[in-house]
Every structure is written in structure tokens, then in C-alpha cells.
């Protein structure tokens, strides 16, 4: 606990680089010979209880994850106390599993890293208090982790990416564009002014009752939209991309969601069906919403790249755009971003799908 308190004091200092220097200064000599320092990462910021052990060279020794998606799909969205309860029920097992798959005992760890923000307060609290118990029991240093920074840096596990690079994080809870200048040096270029794209796609999927669709019943909202969009015609509906005149790199998805809500209501009237039944035009709506979302995300990203190049914040010849988060697994949106990357001579990199979504590895 002493170590944690010390860490917390240093963390209140504006220079985060100092914290990392401080944490690196710990040098433990465990009984078993591990060539590299080992870090246990714990993630409970939203609806995944995840843990992993990673060594300082980025080698993943083992991981475990429990996803709550199935439960939240049934309740039509995440209910924070439900998420908290599920984290409580699973955290011990998941951390134990990550350690035993890694063949590492807690005493052999060099540090324990845990997401402390941003996220659902009730969910974050479970991971944090569990970690603090471990920290106290085994007298280990604690590394507080910013969830977004972890997402942004994950690409460096799989690809050799030099700083600075541009990162686009798009998921159910995140939507931001940032220039990554160093491990804890980020310049925020744009963010959603309201909800994240995954949240909007989840809401549209719920409004279209896609959970009742035989092909989509176990899929997240975004995945269901992507699946159904393949069978639809995007030109049957004309949803305009939001914020076309805004001269910045921010995003907005609430307006689009409301327009789609209105369209669905109108179509239900036309087709003479009740709310909760599946429209015959559901696939066309899915294709159009996916297309508009892709256009909006691609346009804002294009703007950010041009800005960074103009201000010499990114290399002219060797710029890298990293895209991560659950929505980054959408191939249509990726294609739109590929077009932007090609047009601006950028290299587009996406972590493998497993590392795009929340996980313990990125925290470790």
C-alpha cells in the first residue's frame, strides 16, 4: 500500500513521464528466474473482465477474458450495477486463470497495472479494489492505466511503429482522434460531441430489433448492422453525414440516430407493422447507416491527417494511421479509411481484432 500511495502522489504531478521513470526504478528479484520484468494487467472499465501477463519485451505469457455481451444484449444495453456484479463474480477467476496460463505466481510479478479511467465508475471500481488488494498482499508497485492510452499503444505489440503516429479509436464507448507523440504524450485532435459510433450502431440495431433476426441474434449491434448491410442497398436511404461544415475533427452520432429512428417509425407505418417486428427494409437501412457512419469517420480522419501534415506533426512521407476499437473490425469502415490513407500517403494499421476490443494485454 505504501508503494501505491507513493505512486499516487507522483501521479498527481502533471508530468506523467516522471511516473513512468519512477515505476521503472523498481527492480525486483523474484525467486524463479524470469529474464524480463512481468506485468499483470487488469481491465474492468466496461463490460469485459480481462487480465493478462506481459513481459517488458511485449511477449504475452497468458491472458483470460470474460465477456458480458450476452447478458447485456438481453437487457438491451449495459446496466451499470449488472456489469459491476458480473465483474465481481468473475474477477478472481479471470486473474487466477491469466496467472496460471502464464505459469506465473503473484510474487513473481514486477508490477500490477489496472485501468483507472475512463469507463463506468462501478465497473472500474471492481478492478481497482481487486488490484489494490493484490498490491497490498504481495507488496507490488501499482501502475494506473488510462484506458484510451492503452488502446492507442496496443499496435506497438504487433507492429514496429515509431512516434509520432495518428490514432483513431472507435468503439461502443470511445470516439477520438489523437496524435500519439510518446508513451504518455497525446495530442487530442477530435472527439465525439455526443455518443460513440458503436453506441449509435447498437441503438439502431435495437430499434430495428435485429436480436430477433435469425442471422443476428448473438451478434453485437455493430456486427449485426455490418452483416445485414451486405444484403441491403445503401442508396435506398439518403442519410447525410453529420457536421459537414464543422471546421474541426470532432464527431457526432446522435443526430444520425434520431433521423434513423424517425425513418424506422415511418417505415413501420408504411409496412403496417408494430415496433419490435423486423422491417422488410431493415437491410437497406443497415447498409445506409453503415455507409453514412463510414463517410463521417473517414472525412474527419482525412481532415486530421491533412492538419497534421500541414503543421508537420506527422512525417510527410512515412505517416501512420492506427485504427482500433470494436468498430474498427467493420470491414466497410476499414475500406473507407484505406481510401483516405491511400489518398494521403499514409500507412493504415489495425491491431488484430482480438486486440482491437477491450482486453488485459493492452493494459499490461
Where does this chain bind ligand KG4 (CB under 6 A)? Answer: 46, 171-174, 198-199, 201-202, 220-223, 226, 325-327, 329-330, 357-358
Alpha helices in 209-316 (DSSP H): 221-229, 254-271, 282-310
Going from the C-alpha of 43 to that of each of 49, 61, 99, 113, 119, the distances in angstroms are: 6, 16, 14, 9, 10
Judged by beta carbon, residue 284 or residue 358, the one nearer Zn ion is: 358
What b/e readout covers 221-260, taking b as 16+ CB neighbours within 10 angstroms? bbbbbbbbbeebebeebebebbbeeeeebbbbbeebbebb
Nearest-approach distance from CB 307 to ligand KG4, in angstroms: 26
Q: Candidates 58-66, 179-187, 314-322, 354-362: pick the segment binding Zn ion (CB under 5 A).
A: 354-362
Judged by beta carbon, residue 144 or residue 221, the one nearer ligand KG4 is: 221
What are the backbone dihedrals phi and psi of residue 197, each rounded to the nearest 5 degrees, phi first? -60, -40
Nearest-approach distance from CB 70 to ligand KG4, in angstroms: 13
Judged by beta carbon, residue 278 or residue 328, the one nearer ligand KG4 is: 328
The 165-170 sheet, strands edge to edge: 185-191, 175-182, 165-170, 319-324, 346-349
Contacts of 264 (CB under 8 A, 6+ apart): 207, 208, 279, 285
Nearest-approach distance from CB 50 to Zn ion, in angstroms: 10
Judged by beta carbon, residue 13 or residue 218, the one nearer ligand KG4 is: 218
Radius of gyration over every alpha carbon of the chain, rounded to an integer in angstroms:
22
Is 358 a residue that touches Zn ion (CB under 5 A)? yes
Q: Candidates 60-68, 201-209, 238-246, 350-358: pick the segment binding Zn ion (CB under 5 A).
A: 350-358
Q: Pick one of ligand KG4, Zn ion, none as the site partner of residue 302 (Cβ within 5 to 8 A by kind).
A: none
Nearest-approach distance from CB 205 to ligand KG4, in angstroms: 7
Judged by beta carbon, residue 118 or residue 125, the one nearer ligand KG4 is: 118
Q: Pick one of Zn ion, ligand KG4, none as the site partner of residue 357 (Cβ within 5 to 8 A by kind).
A: ligand KG4
Judged by beta carbon, residue 223 or residue 303, the one nearer ligand KG4 is: 223
Contacts of 311 (CB under 8 A, 6+ apart): none
DSSP 279: P
Nearest-approach distance from CB 58 to ligand KG4, in angstroms: 21
Q: Pick one of ligand KG4, Zn ion, none as the site partner of residue 249 (Cβ within 5 to 8 A by kind).
A: none
Q: Grid coordinates in use for 74?
A: 438481453
Nearest-approach distance from CB 357 to ligand KG4, in angstroms: 3
- Provide the β-strand partners of residue 169: 176, 324
DSSP reduced 3-state for 9:
helix
Instruction: Identify which of 156, 121, 116, 141 has the alpha carbon closest to the alpha carbon of residue 39.
Output: 141
Q: Grid coordinates in use for 292?
A: 453514412
Is 149 a residue that touches Zn ion (CB under 5 A)? no
CB 278 within 8 A of CB 216: no
Q: Pick one of ligand KG4, Zn ion, none as the site partner of residue 141 (Cβ within 5 to 8 A by kind).
A: none
Judged by beta carbon, residue 95 or residue 201, the one nearer ligand KG4 is: 201
Nearest-approach distance from CB 329 to Zn ion, in angstroms: 13
Judged by beta carbon, residue 210 or residue 264, the one nearer ligand KG4 is: 210
* Contact set with Zn ion (CB under 5 A): 358
Amino acid at each position: 500500500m505504501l508503494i501505491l500511495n507513493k505512486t499516487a502522489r507522483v501521479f498527481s504531478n502533471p508530468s506523467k513521464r516522471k511516473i513512468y521513470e519512477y515505476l521503472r526504478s523498481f527492480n525486483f528479484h523474484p525467486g524463479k528466474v524470469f529474464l524480463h520484468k512481468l506485468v499483470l494487467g487488469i481491465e474492468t472499465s466496461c463490460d469485459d473482465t480481462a487480465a493478462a501477463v506481459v513481459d517488458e519485451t511485449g511477449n504475452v505469457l497468458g491472458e483470460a477474458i470474460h465477456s458480458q455481451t450476452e447478458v447485456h444484449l438481453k437487457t438491451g444495453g449495459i446496466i451499470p450495477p449488472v456489469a459491476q456484479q458480473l465483474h465481481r463474480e468473475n474477477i478472481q477467476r479471470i486473474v487466477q486463470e491469466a496467472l496460471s496460463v502464464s505459469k506465473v505466481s503473484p510474487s513473481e510479478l514486477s508490477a500490477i497495472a489496472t485501468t483507472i479511467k475512463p469507463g463506468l465508475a462501478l465497473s472500474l471500481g471492481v478492478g481497482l479494489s481487486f488490484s489494490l488488494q493484490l498490491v497490498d498482499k504481495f507488496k507490488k508497485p501499482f501502475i494506473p492505466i488510462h484506458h484510451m492510452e492503452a488502446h492507442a499503444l496496443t499496435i506497438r505489440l504487433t507492429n514496429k511503429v515509431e512516434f509520432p503516429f495518428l490514432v483513431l479509436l472507435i468503439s461502443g464507448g470511445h470516439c477520438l482522434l489523437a496524435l500519439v507523440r510518446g508513451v504518455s504524450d497525446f495530442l487530442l485532435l477530435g472527439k465525439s460531441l455526443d455518443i460513440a459510433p458503436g453506441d449509435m450502431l447498437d441503438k439502431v440495431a435495437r430499434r430495428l430489433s435485429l436480436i430477433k433476426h435469425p442471422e443476428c441474434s448473438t451478434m453485437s449491434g455493430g456486427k449485426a448492422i455490418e452483416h445485414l448491410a451486405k444484403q441491403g442497398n445503401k442508396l435506398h436511404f439518403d442519410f447525410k453525414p453529420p457536421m459537414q461544415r464543422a471546421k474541426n475533427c470532432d464527431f457526432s452520432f446522435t443526430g444520425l440516430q434520431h433521423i434513423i429512428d424517425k425513418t424506422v417509425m415511418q417505415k413501420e407505418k408504411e409496412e403496417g407493422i408494430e415496433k419490435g417486428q423486423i422491417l422488410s427494409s431493415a437491410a437497406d437501412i443497415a447498409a445506409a447507416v453503415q455507409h453514412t457512419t463510414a463517410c463521417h469517420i473517414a472525412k474527419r480522419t482525412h481532415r486530421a491527417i491533412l492538419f497534421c501534415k500541414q503543421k508537420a506533426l506527422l512525417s510527410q512521407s512515412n505517416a501512420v494511421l492506427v485504427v482500433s476499437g470494436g468498430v474498427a473490425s467493420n470491414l466497410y469502415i476499414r475500406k473507407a479509411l484505406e481510401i483516405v490513407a491511400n489518398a494521403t500517403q499514409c500507412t493504415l494499421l489495425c491491431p488484430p481484432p482480438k486486440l482491437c476490443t477491450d482486453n488485459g494485454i493492452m493494459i499490461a
